[in-house]
Structure 1
Amino acid sequence: MQSQNACGCCEGLSVEVPVQVYNRPGLKAITYRVGTHAQFKESLLAQLTISRLRALRELTTRNNDDFTIAVLDAWATVADVLTFYQERIANELYLDTATEEFSIVQLARLIGYQLRPGVAAGTCLAFTLDENTTGPLTNPDSGNNSKPTPPPLTIEAGIKVQSVPGPGEEAQLFETVEKIEARAEWNSIRPVLTQTPHSIDASKIIVVTGANNDLKTGDVVLILKQGRTDNALLKRVLNVIPNDESKTTSLFLDTAATQPSFILPALTVTGNIAAYSAKVPLSSEVVDDIISKTWRSEELAVLINTQGWPEDELKKSIEKKLARPPAVDDSIFVFRKRTAVFGHNALKQPGYTNGVPDLPSAWTDWPLNEVEGKIHLDAVYEQVLPGSYIAIQRSSDALDGITTVFQGTEVDHRPRTEYGISAKSTVITIPADDPWWDTDLNDLAAIRGVIVYAQSVPLTLAASSVNDEVSGDLIMLDRLYSGLKQGQKIILSGDRTDLIGTQASELRTLKEILVVKGITVIKFDKPLSWKYVRGSVKINANVAAATHGETVKEILGSGDATRSFQQFTLKQLPLTFVSATTPSGISSTLEIRVNDLLWKEVPSLYDHGPNDHIYITRQDDQQRTTVIFGDGKNGARLPSGPDNIKATYRKGIGVSGLLKPDKLSQLLTRPLGIKGVTNSISATGAADPERLEHARQNATLTIFTLGRIVSLKDYEDFARAFAGISKAIATWVWTGQKRSVHLTVAGYDGATIDPAGALYENLSAAIAASGIPEVLVIIESYQPRFFCVTAGILVHPDYLPELVLALVKQKLQEQFSFEQRNFGQPVVYSEVIAVMQQVEGVTAVDIDDWYRLDQAPNGPEKARIDAKTTRSGSDNPFAAELLTIDPNSINLHLML
């Protein structure tokens, strides 16, 4: 029979404390109270009831106004307060549950972790030098008084450049962090734009010198392959385009004629400085020798220096020789006359029958009376000269099929009587062993349809435009550029061929520099990311790395040898930290000198000797930096002296330095010779000081890896602990027959990582230093992907519709933001519905459409939108995608 007191409501008072405490893993807050006020009071009253003391047995009242009951109630209140704060303290003892910054900072310090102070943005500045700034003549005694090339200019580190702020922005200051050599000729290096072909291809556009050649559509040109008449080609001109600016004319001999493709010369190094064992003066023969060979740029520079050749004079001699038309294997001529041969218009020979003239229809043609080595033209042509070419087109020949081309040896003008007519004729003697007429006929009809192209005029081939796109890692420049060095940074800018009207810039490092046929050829450390319109490409080699921040020098104070752990606070803030190859990914710009002697910063004073010149730094939540010195046991004490503690550092940090291209243009320090500056590429790699929620996740990353990388999880943890990296995912992949690691990374707030930027390079170097050398690591920036939502919202009548719609949009942006999503994480239809439905005031939701912006719409019934990521063991790795909502593509409307 079931008990009538199954609910327990009739059991009376019972002891309820201490309450058993249990917390499942992963909670944001833990329960640690052994009881509440009600539980403590009930337990005390229960103890009072079951007490064996006679005096307490006599106390039967339980009214709250009784003094004893009031005392118990007071102690229950005390216990409630104590357990409440005990629970708060317990929460502060764990990273995941702590709420106070002090707790999180101190817990992190227990494992040697400090809140990351952020990192300064970095970019590369392209300087433009004044081309009119010149030094003394290279060789004043040479008699060459032309203006010499401006000498190289050394640009020291610390050049300050300020941005031009837009509306609502603040000016940001950057400083160069390296010394470079710059030259005016490096302001705008151009790729080769023209070429003179050594052979003529009728399927390509042929460019000849002169814009007033009297060439017109319908003219016939003769192309002699390798100068041989037995290898000739006749073509009719289909179009003529003169260019007054370049003084050239383009000929189209084919309906589908295209620009000739650029053919890069052989890059095999043939130049050897050992061939110049003795000093020789600069001469035409020396210039010819240099042009005829391929040199390494550094070796050629050594040769020029050891020989003492004036560099300007050598470059001008090379340019002068290259400006001459090169020897061309093929030649081209245009025929100014299209004529017939003598007798082509003669009437047929009249006939008689029995003394009566025959009808013209019965006349017969004249017997052919021509010789093989002579051609009689139908008139006198004074412009047809000996040595000129003629082409004979028989009646059955097509123009393209003409192979009967002769070079006339003699030209004479004489009268001729033949075939019943008399007229003056031009007689051309040709070297022919075979008949030049149609041998299928033996009378005058054999030459009536013959067309002779005569009065050949030679045309000079000109350099044609090179329209090939610029791509890959190898570029031939338009001339010789001296001084370029291996490892030098350059910035290439131009119009992209895949996106018309879009300009792009890329930072690359010179891997190899060659001088081929007197022209510089450069090779980059890696191929260009885009393809560019050749005519728009410009390369600036006056490039220096720069980072956000301004240098500050200040006297911290006076050392006191009697004080332990003496400390000073920097007056300027925030202290600049820059990206580095350290395990943390950052290094400080702070430099402390004591009595002008440099002291070093260390993570901790522990385990350092009493004579070690070291210090540590600490930052508070206001980004104030405090410098702490030793106590004479762990680190040396500061020596006494007035104002002997000096600091040099930079101030400025965070995402405010993430400037777009061409924002940095104001030179605050302008050395002589610098004309201008700009950042052709965006500033990257910046991060704001670490927030508490990030510290919870990142504090333990350093103890996971312990400075070494072995497993896939180590690669992810190491990358995430690196300053400037927010998310990372590692996958085992195959590259050929070798097992490798593919690492996809993302910057703070969804920033992509530039493969040419300092953050990418430093991360790669740090992983290489801490990882297994035999394991290939492929690092790629993630692929951001976005989706859109169009939905109808039914709002409860008690709520303002516009406020509800705004709140729904806000919740969608929060839930599907970069911070909340992971690589390869799909978006589910029900998840989107749930986010909108949970907003207070929303009665119903109807999604009209949703899809990825880079894909075609699939309708509202689609269950999920996927994001791709490389699968383990793949032999075709690619950067992982991260799918977030596009704030500008959230289209909400009210349902009626």
Structure 2
Amino acid sequence: MVDTCDCCKGIERLAPQATANRPGLRALAYRVGTHATFLETMKARLSSLYIDVPREEKDEFGQPKFDRIYPLHKLRTRAQDDPAIALLDAWALLGAVLTFYQERIANEGYLMTAVERRSILELARLIGYELRPGVSASVFLAYTLDEKTTEPVIIPVGAKSQSVPGPGELPQTFETGEPLEARAAWNNLAPRQARPQTKATIQTVNAMRVYLKGISTNLKASDPLLIDFGDGTRELYRVVDVAPDSLLDHTLVRFQDWRAAPTLADKVRVSLQAVVSALRDTASLKKSTAKSEFVARLQDMAAKVEKRAAVSNDAELGALHEKTLSNLEHELQVANDDVKFKNVKAWLAPIVENLRVDAATNMVKGMAAGTGNAASIGDTTTAAAKGAGVADVISKLTLPASVPPRSTNFLTRAPDKVFTANADIGNQVLTSLQPNLHRTLAPALSGGKATGDNQIHVYALRAKAGLFGGNLPRLPIYTRGEDGTVTITGYEPALDLNSAWRGLVNKLAPLPVIALDVENDKLQAGGWAVLDFPIPGFDDVTGALVAGTREIAPLKISAARATVMPIKGNSTRSTQLAVTPAWFEGWETPRIRLMLSSSEVLTDSVVYAQSEELALADEPMPSELCGGQENWIELDEWYADLKSGRWAIVSGERADILDAFGKPVPGIKVSELVMLAEVIQDVSNQDGEPLTRGKSDNQFPDEKLHTFVRFAKTLSYCYQRDTVKIYGNVVKATHGETRKEVLGSGDGSQALQSFTLRQPPLTFVAAPNPRGVTSTLQVYVNDVQWHETNSLAALAPKDRKFITRANDDAQTTIIFGNGEHGARLPTGRENVRAMYRNGIGKGGNVNAEQISLLMTRPLGVKEVINPLRASGGADKENRDQARENAPLAVTALDRLVSMQDYADFARTFAGIGKAAAARLVYAQREIVHVTIAGADDIPIEPTSDLYRNLMLALRQYGDPFQPFRVELRELILLVISANVRIAADYQWDKVAANIRARLLDTFSFERRALAQGVALSEITSAIQNVPGVAYVDVDLFAGIHEKKTENGVRRLKTPNEITDEIKQYVAQRESEKNLPDVQKKNPQRQVFAASAGLDHGALRPAELAILTPQVPDTLILNSIG
């Protein structure tokens, strides 16, 4: 048996060690020895070290003989404190230091082993690759001018604005990239909110309603309302409910046909409106109590109830009534429990009691049945929270915004569209030809009416009366019997018009005068009186009078007078009204005879008079605002000089995100960047389109000319009209601040003269070139601009060009030529100056509405805001990114031929962190699909300069006939649950923190590649290699895919779909909990990340599987024992 324990070996020579390394290592072993091996080797040589000393005598071959001397043979001590051994220790230390740095230097000489960014920077330059400097974020700014500013304001290129930093952030400066003509009128190109009412809009199919000016109409439920439609028709309606709106200064009046019985919904609305009115009436409360938070909360509830009741359908009103009662009962209990709300209790109790009475009736119970629970008053609970339509809600929330053309030069314009009827370009040409019309043309054309007056008139009828003689009681007829008893055997016949209105009835002619049973001095000529009277019928068999129908007769009062009329020997005061047309005008004689002789007509007729005209208000336009490319958007007034190709931003709350009741969820605010494609000045037809462009010729009355705009691309979202704001003074800006500085003095005697910019980092903006960026640096020598180039080698002696070099600290040095390759600087005093911008990186990706500080304030400019978030900003290329990207620079070579070229080109594009390409067949053609991920996974908006310039560069440097598609990566979030046994003497919290850090690093964005799967063995290995881990048992390993395909469309998974997916894995483990270990199934061995392809007909980009720190519970660590 051979003993290999080496326990019997003595001191041996261990240095020099071999320096050969196999390929693919992350670090080279290049040390010939360490302190220990050097010291061990020198100790081993103490006994064997010899010196050959030559002697004078020679051997038989004529060579001198030597004496071998062992000078250290007698040094037998090996004690560390011996001076000789200490000297060896010192030399061993020196050798260790030298070899340590020698190994470091050797590692820095290779791209894959270098650990210093500077080393990779210099190595990359050897193959012509410059580390990407980062890219500036881009954003669109909206300026607001002072309303008093009447003249256009030019906001120059380079106008500065600054962001308001959040916690842990620094202010970021942005500068405009192009001049902007701004006007105060363009601060908000407000959509039109209201339009004149017509007969068609008042008599809608779903509900009859009218909008009146003001909030003090003094109308209430069941009041009569007369509407003269101006076309010869006049209708009497019964008011159902009245909803004043103080904000819009109008009142919505819902009504129904006069003969229609009130519906249950009408009664519930009246009940709710009574509650609202009572809660707003705080006159009985002390001033301090009326202003208290408690009362304010109740009044806020009243406002929400009123708003919801106004838009609720019949099925929802009952549930709303019950919910309102429940809320008020709770508030009453609060007031009852607190003595300081004693007055509030007395005020609130009757309101609650009245509501209880209404709730106890069958009307509310019947309506509430089957409607379920009402949403909380003012509740913003979405259908997603209720589990209904979650997928649809999420799909709408993730719908990308519309993407307009990249600039005005990319907007397609057609002459027949530009020079069309009522196009604003005609006005612009005219004011250009005659500048004196600039101030007067628009007001002259937009100030007057373009259509006739509205002929619709609405009247409230304040008085109610009967016909004269109709209320006269009939006297009984007494009869004395044979026994002397007097009994009532009947009543006198009721009077009819013939007998009651003697002197007013002229045979069988219509009645030009009607007499009322009351005296009313408020009835005046010019007003209206409406008769609601019965029309008796004939029995076809017997010929007797029978009950018939009722009819409405609106009559115009031409004169009114109080008088005394005789009846049955008495004189009674009355009001006589001369009316046109005469009552029974145009009737046939037999029918008039019937009416005059019918007592029912006299006794059952009702006159509604004392008309008060209520001014019509404009009705609100449909609450949803959609459209853009195909649909016109009507603005609220004439906006002069708007030009096609101008940027605008549409902001507002979305109307297409609905709650469980189908109502828009408030507070979902979004913005879209748009470009104006057409601008015309026209009136609207009744379909909401420009009259000259629409399909209908029906105009609105009382119309003025308004501006209509059409966008280059259709809006992706629908907005709630009253929340929409269209910013018209919009300009593109990029991150960075302009600096101007004198670099120094040129010296013609100095070759390769250089200067360093004082304020790093230099800003690079996105550009459609192979690098993806272009520098903002401009250098002037003797006020003549010199230009940057990539290399001095190809320059002629007189070429006025320079190169730049950025060190690892982002400091940029400018290097000029040597007189042979590029011109030397001319000698001069401070004749070299630079203008550049500094500021770059993902810090510029600020949130929406975070840029609000004006640093450049032209006269008249009031404020600035960014309705859309900034995007596209990326930090400079780090060490590991450069290590992977540098070799790619020599693969694509600035041209795109193969499929892999697309991926390599995109990967080296500034701001792009990962890229993969695949050849797919989609929509019956072959395309190149490119999946990208931003550097550090920064957000990349389709409207950002980064995305647009990448698309343009791929088109310019690739085959112009090769279709391609660029999409953002889809994520797979890993879910891991592991049980860990730690070694003795280790603390679980420390080990768990180290495990979490190791896993987050191993499966981070930087460490993983697109379409790279994750194996269970990788997880186990990563955990096992953490110090203190004895062993690990992974009991859950899964991946949550970001999206799924449904009906040929990729959509985000819903929260329930995500949790259900993981529950399946958990349920499997739970079912095996009591089984022997040998019968338990292992977790899945791998999570696959797919490359780009087709998934059930939908394009799926490449997937990226990572572990995210943003959701800590996706990594669960438990201690064993």
TM-score band w.r.t. shorter chain: 0.7 to 0.9
Describe the SS at the equivalent of 1:227.
coil
Using a 3 Å threshold, how does the CA distance of structure 1 residues 155 and 339 change in structure 2: closer, same or farther?
same
| Mapped contact 2:976–2:1034 kept (Cα < 8 A) | no
Whole-angstrom CA distance in 1 between matches of 2:217 and 2:532: 24
Whole-angstrom CA distance in 2 between matches of 1:804 and 1:420: 114
Once the two structures are TM-superposed, the CA of residue 160 in structure 1 deviates from its matched residue by 3.1
1:328 aligns with 2:454: yes
1:300 aligns with 2:427: yes
1:511 aligns with 2:638: no
Whole-angstrom CA distance in 1 between matches of 2:1037 and 2:666: 31
1:635 to 778, 803, 822: 822
Once the two structures are TM-superposed, the CA of residue 600 in structure 1 deviates from its matched residue by 1.6
For residue 126 of structure 1, what is the amino acid of its counterpart?
Answer: A
Q: Which moved more, 1:409-418 or 1:237-246?
A: 409-418
| Mapped contact 1:489–1:510 kept (Cα < 8 A) | yes
Using a 3 Å threshold, how does the CA distance of structure 1 residues 89 and 787 change in structure 2: closer, same or farther?
closer
Whole-angstrom CA distance in 1 between matches of 2:433 and 2:918: 54
Describe the SS at the equivalent of 1:872.
strand
2:624 to 459, 465, 469: 469
Once the two structures are TM-superposed, the CA of residue 563 in structure 1 deviates from its matched residue by 4.8
Using a 3 Å threshold, how does the CA distance of structure 1 residues 606 and 587 change in structure 2: closer, same or farther?
same
Describe the SS at the equivalent of 1:181.
strand
For residue 242 of structure 1, what is the amino acid of its counterpart?
Answer: P
| Mapped contact 2:651–2:724 kept (Cα < 8 A) | yes
The correspondence of residues 337-416 of structure 1 with structure 2, limited to 5 A, is 337-341=463-467, 373-374=510-511, 376=514, 378-379=516-517, 383=523, 385=525, 388=528, 390=530, 392=532, 394=534, 404-408=552-556
1:237 to 232, 236, 239: 239
Whole-angstrom CA distance in 1 between matches of 2:802 and 2:1035: 60
Corresponding residue of 2:991: 804
- State the Cα deviation string for residues 477-515 of structure 1 (Å, max 9, x = none): 222222333333334443445463354444433333332
| Mapped contact 2:223–2:239 kept (Cα < 8 A) | yes
Whole-angstrom CA distance in 1 between matches of 2:791 and 2:164: 41
Using a 3 Å threshold, how does the CA distance of structure 1 residues 348 and 789 change in structure 2: closer, same or farther?
farther
Once the two structures are TM-superposed, the CA of residue 114 in structure 1 deviates from its matched residue by 0.8
| Mapped contact 1:811–1:835 kept (Cα < 8 A) | yes
- State the Cα deviation string for residues 538-573 of structure 1 (Å, max 9, x = none): 333333333333323333344444554443333332
| Mapped contact 1:560–1:641 kept (Cα < 8 A) | yes
- State the Cα deviation string for residues 826-877 of structure 1 (Å, max 9, x = none): 7778866665565443455576898859522232357678888863387544
- State the Cα deviation string for residues 394-447 of structure 1 (Å, max 9, x = none): 4899xxx98755555867778888999997565743533358899899954477
The correspondence of residues 437-456 of structure 1 with structure 2, limited to 5 A, is 443-445=598-600, 449-451=604-606, 453-454=608-609, 456=611
Corresponding residue of 2:1076: none
The correspondence of residues 700-719 of structure 1 with structure 2, limited to 5 A, is 700-719=887-906
Whole-angstrom CA distance in 2 between matches of 1:366 and 1:353: 22
Corresponding residue of 2:253: 251
| Mapped contact 1:582–1:766 kept (Cα < 8 A) | yes
1:652 aligns with 2:839: yes
Whole-angstrom CA distance in 1 between matches of 2:935 and 2:478: 109
For residue 432 of structure 1, what is the amino acid of its counterpart?
Answer: G
Using a 3 Å threshold, how does the CA distance of structure 1 residues 373 and 780 change in structure 2: closer, same or farther?
farther
Describe the SS at the equivalent of 1:206.
strand
Once the two structures are TM-superposed, the CA of residue 115 in structure 1 deviates from its matched residue by 0.6
Whole-angstrom CA distance in 1 between matches of 2:874 and 2:787: 25
Corresponding residue of 1:596: 783
Once the two structures are TM-superposed, the CA of residue 799 in structure 1 deviates from its matched residue by 1.3
Whole-angstrom CA distance in 2 between matches of 1:295 and 1:684: 39
For residue 725 of structure 1, what is the amino acid of its counterpart?
Answer: I
Whole-angstrom CA distance in 2 between matches of 1:100 and 1:460: 80
2:138 to 114, 118, 122: 122
For residue 328 of structure 1, what is the amino acid of its counterpart?
Answer: N
Describe the SS at the equivalent of 2:994.
helix
Corresponding residue of 2:194: 194
| Mapped contact 1:349–1:420 kept (Cα < 8 A) | no
| Mapped contact 2:899–2:917 kept (Cα < 8 A) | yes
1:553 to 714, 717, 740: 740
Using a 3 Å threshold, how does the CA distance of structure 1 residues 318 and 510 change in structure 2: closer, same or farther?
same
- State the Cα deviation string for residues 324-352 of structure 1 (Å, max 9, x = none): 99633655444444555566557789999
For residue 855 of structure 1, what is the amino acid of its counterpart?
Answer: P
Whole-angstrom CA distance in 2 between matches of 1:829 and 1:453: 86
Whole-angstrom CA distance in 1 between matches of 2:227 and 2:927: 57
Whole-angstrom CA distance in 1 between matches of 2:570 and 2:920: 90
Describe the SS at the equivalent of 2:1111.
strand
Q: Whose helix fraction is larger, Structure 1's or Structure 2's?
A: 2
TM-score by length of 2: 0.61
Q: Which moved more, 1:216-225 or 1:27-36?
A: 27-36
Whole-angstrom CA distance in 1 between matches of 2:219 and 2:1090: 60
| Mapped contact 1:734–1:873 kept (Cα < 8 A) | no
| Mapped contact 1:868–1:880 kept (Cα < 8 A) | yes
Corresponding residue of 2:295: none
Describe the SS at the equivalent of 1:108.
helix
Whole-angstrom CA distance in 2 between matches of 1:782 and 1:750: 10
Whole-angstrom CA distance in 2 between matches of 1:272 and 1:654: 42
For residue 429 of structure 2, what is the amino acid of its counterpart?
Answer: V
| Mapped contact 2:229–2:455 kept (Cα < 8 A) | yes
Using a 3 Å threshold, how does the CA distance of structure 1 residues 360 and 693 change in structure 2: closer, same or farther?
farther
The correspondence of residues 486-635 of structure 1 with structure 2, limited to 5 A, is 486-497=644-655, 498=657, 500-517=666-683, 518-528=705-715, 530-635=717-822
Using a 3 Å threshold, how does the CA distance of structure 1 residues 349 and 515 change in structure 2: closer, same or farther?
same
Once the two structures are TM-superposed, the CA of residue 806 in structure 1 deviates from its matched residue by 1.7
Corresponding residue of 2:396: none
Once the two structures are TM-superposed, the CA of residue 588 in structure 1 deviates from its matched residue by 0.6
Describe the SS at the equivalent of 2:1094.
coil
Once the two structures are TM-superposed, the CA of residue 754 in structure 1 deviates from its matched residue by 1.9
Using a 3 Å threshold, how does the CA distance of structure 1 residues 883 and 535 change in structure 2: closer, same or farther?
farther
For residue 212 of structure 1, what is the amino acid of its counterpart?
Answer: S
| Mapped contact 2:162–2:171 kept (Cα < 8 A) | yes
Q: Which moved more, 1:798-807 or 1:299-308?
A: 299-308
Corresponding residue of 1:280: none
- State the Cα deviation string for residues 717-775 of structure 1 (Å, max 9, x = none): 33222211223345567776665555443322222112222222222322232234345
The correspondence of residues 2-401 of structure 1 with structure 2, limited to 5 A, is 28=26, 95-99=111-115, 101=117, 104-133=120-149, 150-199=150-199, 200-202=202-204, 203=207, 205-224=209-228, 227-229=231-233, 233-243=235-245, 246-253=248-255, 295-308=422-435, 310-317=437-444, 320-321=447-448, 327-328=453-454, 330-341=456-467, 373-374=510-511, 376=514, 378-379=516-517, 383=523, 385=525, 388=528, 390=530, 392=532, 394=534
Corresponding residue of 1:855: 1055
The correspondence of residues 712-731 of structure 1 with structure 2, limited to 5 A, is 712-730=899-917
Using a 3 Å threshold, how does the CA distance of structure 1 residues 486 and 379 change in structure 2: closer, same or farther?
same
Using a 3 Å threshold, how does the CA distance of structure 1 residues 715 and 196 change in structure 2: closer, same or farther?
farther
Corresponding residue of 1:290: none
Once the two structures are TM-superposed, the CA of residue 821 in structure 1 deviates from its matched residue by 4.3
| Mapped contact 1:177–1:547 kept (Cα < 8 A) | yes
For residue 628 of structure 1, what is the amino acid of its counterpart?
Answer: I
Whole-angstrom CA distance in 1 between matches of 2:833 and 2:478: 128
Whole-angstrom CA distance in 1 between matches of 2:491 and 2:992: 103
Unaligned runs of 5+ in 2: 7-15, 42-60, 62-69, 74-95, 257-264, 267-308, 313-413, 499-506, 538-548, 658-664, 684-704, 1041-1052, 1069-1082
Unaligned runs of 5+ in 1: 10-16, 42-54, 56-62, 67-79, 134-149, 261-268, 275-292
Describe the SS at the equivalent of 2:873.
coil
Whole-angstrom CA distance in 2 between matches of 1:331 and 1:680: 43
1:433 aligns with 2:591: no
| RMSD across aligned positions (CA) | 5.4
**Pairs aligned (count):** 810
Whole-angstrom CA distance in 1 between matches of 2:895 and 2:668: 43
| Mapped contact 2:157–2:175 kept (Cα < 8 A) | yes
